[in-house]
Amino acid sequence: MDEQPRLMHSHGVGMAGHPGLAQHMQDGTAGTDGEGRKQDIGDILQQIMTITDQSLDEAQARKHALNCHRMKPALFNVLCEIKEKTVLSIRGAQEEEPPDPQLMRLDNMLLAEGVAGPEKGGGSAAAAAAAAAAGGVGADNSAEHSDYRAKLSQIRQIYHTELEKYEQLDIVSTGGGYGQNFKKNACNEFTTHVMNLLREQSRTRPISPKEIERMVSIIHRKFSSIQMQLKQSTCEAVMILRSRFLDARRKRRNFNKQATEILNEYFYSHLSNPYPSEEAKEELAKKCSITVSQVSNWFGNKRIRYKKNIGKFQEEANMYAARTAVSATSVSAHGSQANSPSTPNSAGSAGSFNMSNSGDLFMSVQSLNGDSYQGGQVGANIQSQVDTLRHVISQTGGYSDSLAASQMYSPQGINTNGGWQDAPTPSSVTSPTEGPGSVHSDTSN
DNA sequence: AAAAATGATTAGCG
DNA sequence: CGCTAATCATTTTT
């Protein structure tokens, strides 16, 4: 506002619509222009100033008259020039917008997630690939993944429809003629609307084509920022979706009965060394229709939980032990195995089994086990049978949970050593695999 | 609704 | 790298 006086003096004109300016102007221009012109301009401005006081029809008529006035173009140009020099030149500086790194990051991510990429086919494939890669384990449950994919494509669809609304074709670069060849969407609709409005208004107030251009670019910037917001929230949604569906910890499902059965069977029949080899894990995984890492997880959990509270697992242990013991004994009357080198190690295995808990149970089992070994001539390397038998024995012997439970978590027990893990009985425990088929029937293939 | 069970994840060890 | 131990987050049981 405070600039107005200066402008008027230097150019001899002022902005229309400012009450009281007309008078000033007339005074200021008196010396430079001819009397007639002065009068013309004064008339014009006078009409402008009073235009709002008139009825609509009258106003239209006067508007038209003004538009047709011979001085109008010149005056208009002058006004535009002034406006350009004052207002627009200030904004002109912030024209260049560097490629926003933030936007690029979002774009890249959306592309990587298969949201922004090409349509359906390739897109979902990419998404699946990304999902599989993220999951770490390939060929997994496809059920959950399909759910994931469905949700992802939902997001994708929303994203695309929304994006299309705001997408802007390059209008400015089409040159002077603001072409009509752009797609129908919110951005362009709005832009053309604004442009028409401005052009319409340019008859009564100073708006140069340049200004319209600028306005268009401003609108586009706005729409760009909307787009960015859209991309951002889409990214967010994808991230949430990922963490929801791909993070298996959430939405975990218990293994089915049969799988648990199989795993338990293996566990209790290899109780002295419940560390399935990679191959064994693979096989178990196959049989249980779970992944190898799930098998590993299961055994890890099982070992630690078993060890932590044997009493709680006693019943289960006996159950599986008895089951496998039956099958084992039925198959092999006695250890046909000749290759039972370091013979007296069965005791060691028992020790490793009992490890850190229940001293009483440990003792009793050990002695019993030893007896069975020496008296029964059980094949030394038939660990599984030893294991299972031990349980049967401990059960029949009446050392039930009461005892075990009470001493279960004997903390500073003599052997704080973990037991397992480092104590694979030297002899054959680890890989008696190739033994006589009869021995390890427990693997029940 | 609280408690137990359970599969997965994590830090840390060797 | 596989393991243990602790812990998380969910599911199942009580």
Q: Which nucleotides in chain B have some atom under 7 angstroms from a protein Cβ?
A: 5-10
d(CA A209, CA A267): 82
Cα–Cα distances in Å, from A131 out to A138, A155, A173, A382? 9, 15, 40, 44
Contact between A415 and A356 under an 8 Å Cβ cutoff? The reply is yes
Give me the pLDDT at residue A374, please: 35
- Cβ neighbours for A202, distance < 8 A, ≥ 6 positions apart: A76, A208, A212
| Tally of CA atoms within 13 A in the half-sphere of A145 that contains its CB | 18
Contact between A394 and A364 under an 8 Å Cβ cutoff? The reply is yes
In the block, residue with structure tokens 């009509």: A180
Torsion angle of the four alpha carbons A76, A79, A83, A89, in this order, in degrees rounded to the nearest 10: 80
- Cβ neighbours for A378, distance < 8 A, ≥ 6 positions apart: A334, A335, A346, A372, A385, A386, A389
d(CA A35, CA A26): 11
Give me the pLDDT at residue A105, please: 83
* Helix ranges, A246-288 (H): 257-269, 278-288
Backbone angles phi, psi at A69, to 5 degrees: -60, 145
Q: Is A47 exposed, middle or buried (0-12, 13-18, 19+ CB in 10 A)?
A: middle
| Amino acid type, A11 | H
- Cβ neighbours for A257, distance < 8 A, ≥ 6 positions apart: none
Query: Is nucleic acid strand C under 7 Å from A418's C-beta?
Result: yes
Tokens of A234: 């889409």
C-alpha A291: how far from chain center: 23
Angle in degrees, CA A359, A364, A368, rounded to 5? 150
pLDDT tens, residue by residue, A365-423: 433 333 333 333 333 344 555 565 555 545 444 333 434 433 433 333 334 455 777 65
Which portions of chain A are predicted below pLDDT 50? 1-31, 122-124, 128, 131-140, 175-177, 179-180, 333-382, 393, 395-416, 424-445
Q: Residue A172: name the closest of A155, A151, A188 by CA.
A: A188
- Tell me the CA–C1' distance in angstroms for A254 and C13: 14
| Tally of CA atoms within 13 A in the half-sphere of A381 that contains its CB | 21
Give me the pLDDT at residue A387, please: 60
Residue nearest to nucleotide B6 (CA to C1'): A254
Give me the pLDDT at residue A440, please: 39
Contact between A221 and A97 under an 8 Å Cβ cutoff? The reply is yes
* Helix ranges, A397-435 (H): 401-407
Q: Residue A264: name the closest of A444, A141, A403, A114 by CA.
A: A444
Query: Is nucleic acid strand C under 7 Å from A420's C-beta?
Result: yes
Give me the pLDDT at residue A96, please: 67
Backbone angles phi, psi at A444, to 5 degrees: 25, 75
Query: Is nucleic acid strand C under 7 Å from A391's C-beta?
Result: no
Query: Is nucleic acid strand C under 7 Å from A307's C-beta?
Result: yes
Element (DSSP H or E) covering residue A361: helix A359-376
Q: Residue A399: name the closest of A369, A366, A360, A370 by CA.
A: A360
Tally of CB atoms within 10 A around A73: 10
Give me the pLDDT at residue A278, please: 95
- Tell me the CA–C1' distance in angstroms for A250 and C9: 6
d(CA A34, CA A245): 82
Residue nearest to nucleotide C8 (CA to C1'): A249
| Amino acid type, A427 | S
